[in-house]
Structure 1
Amino acid sequence: MFMDRFLAETPSIDYMNSHIQEKVCELKNQSADDADYIKRCYFFVRDEIPHSWDIGVSTVSRTASDTLMNKTGICWAKSCLLAALLRANGIPSGISYQLLTIAEDDSQGHIVHALNTVFNGDKWIRLDARGNTGEDDAEFSLDKDQLAFQVREEFGEIDYKDNNADLDERLVNALAQTDNLFEINIDFDF
């Protein structure tokens, strides 16, 4: 069945990990219903798990459980954590991508940004738990996309508006091949 893959545990979205399960229980016990649970998970990942580059931490979080235990991760890892928290509670979730510039223009090339898809009863929505800094302003909405970044096509940026059941293999490999986040290889076609 199509929806099963958006509920499956994967090496990156390792929701059976005991630390993930503990956080799931904590958030579930605070939640009135599924919509409230989704919101609590979103704000937990967005606001309590800082983006590694924002805080200058070289630690590499490769999986959802790494991200929770390290209390930091880049958007790729944070999207795995949000997906894990949701899937562990039976809420289908996936990962979507944007291709964004590294600088304010395309002079330094592009990087892949990951965010989440969530099935909210009758439709898929996208949530971006990257973390708000400066002009990045992702908000929670079960009705419409309110993402951190608006794509600027004039600089070659792309919003793929896709829905993937797992973290892209190229991103998994990039994380696996570095021990220092500031040395990660992001030079690949996406």
Structure 2
Amino acid sequence: MDLSLSPHGPLRADRPDLSAYLAADGVVDHDHPAIVALAGQLRQDDPVRTAEAVFEHVRDRIDHSADVGRWSAAYRASDVLAAGNAICHGKSHLLAALLRANGIPAGLCYQKLEVLHGLNGVLLPGGSWWVRLDGRGNRNGADGHFATTPAEERPAWAGDPARGEHHYTTVYATPPEPLLDGLRAAVPNSTGYGYLPLELPDAER
């Protein structure tokens, strides 16, 4: 089996400089003291095990808003951590922040479902491929698992190509602007995803 081949398609970075996937910014704010502290608590001797511990923490300890009926509208990583819940995009921003705080390059990936789903692309230590990790949370039919190679990827949702559902191929260092505009428009305690774009431009597929 070729471990470099993902069942969900290849991934490619949108930035040539890997430092973009380690940077702190206004969304993936891994320089925030709370992010720094938690990243340190989750750190293991083996960096791959660190990535797994971070992934499992975000998947299992940060609630998906729809699963618990608490809609924080948080999307900045530190705000997601403080709220304890977010939709998939906020959780992916927190996962990226905790990984970057541990020196592991991490970006943002997307899947076209009924709405635009957010997950992560990670370049694990010692690896040469970007790997999808989906920390959405395994409730209500979701089933995401840690993977170390593209061949092992297990996103939360399988998707149905017959319905036009698919994974995008780009690993973004920062959220695409149309998505970020939607996330900024979210209202706390308001249910649903009406503020999100349904998909990214076809050019990004």
Q: Tell me if TM exceeds 0.5.
A: yes
Give distance in 1, aligned partners of 2:140 and 2:64.
13
Q: Secondary structure at the match of 2:53?
A: helix
Q: Secondary structure at the match of 2:135?
A: coil
Give distance in 1, aligned partners of 2:101 and 2:156.
25
RMSD: 1.5
Contact 2:113 2:166 in 1 (8 A): yes
Identity of matched residues, %: 34
Give distance in 2, aligned partners of 1:58 and 1:24.
24
Deviates more, 1:37-46 or 1:129-138: 129-138
Give the counterpart of 2:191 among 174, 182, 187. 182
1:54 matches 2:58: no
Give the counterpart of 1:150 among 150, 158, 170. 158
Distance change (3 Å), C-alpha of 1:187 and 1:94: closer
Give distance in 1, aligned partners of 2:132 and 2:120.
5
User: Taking CA–CA contacts closer than 8 Å with sequence separation of 6 or more, which of the two structures ends up with the larger relative contact order?
Assistant: 2
Give distance in 2, aligned partners of 1:40 and 1:71.
17
Give the counterpart of 2:91 among 78, 83, 102. 78
Contact 1:6 1:92 in 2 (8 A): yes
Give distance in 1, aligned partners of 2:88 and 2:63.
10
Distance change (3 Å), C-alpha of 1:187 and 1:166: closer
1:97 matches 2:110: yes
Structure 1 residue runs of 5 or longer lacking an equivalent are: 102-110
1:92 Cα deviation from its structure 2 partner: 0.4
Distance change (3 Å), C-alpha of 1:98 and 1:90: same
Give distance in 2, aligned partners of 1:168 and 1:54.
25
1:165 matches 2:169: no
Structure 2 residue runs of 5 or longer lacking an equivalent are: 1-15, 201-205
Q: Secondary structure at the match of 1:136?
A: coil
1:2 Cα deviation from its structure 2 partner: 1.7
Deviates more, 1:167-176 or 1:9-18: 167-176
What TM-score, normalized to structure 1?
A: 0.89
Give the counterpart of 1:141 among 128, 135, 147. 147
What TM-score, normalized to structure 2?
A: 0.82
Give distance in 2, aligned partners of 1:98 and 1:113.
5
Give the count of matched residue pairs: 179
2:7 aligns with: none
Distance change (3 Å), C-alpha of 1:187 and 1:5: closer
Higher helix share: 1
Deviations for 1:64-89, whole angstroms, at most 9, x for unmatched residues? 00110101111101000010001111
Deviations for 1:34-55, whole angstroms, at most 9, x for unmatched residues? 0110000000000000101111
Deviations for 1:7-29, whole angstroms, at most 9, x for unmatched residues? 1112110000011011011112x
Distance change (3 Å), C-alpha of 1:187 and 1:117: closer
Letter in 2 for 1:92: P
Distance change (3 Å), C-alpha of 1:6 and 1:81: same
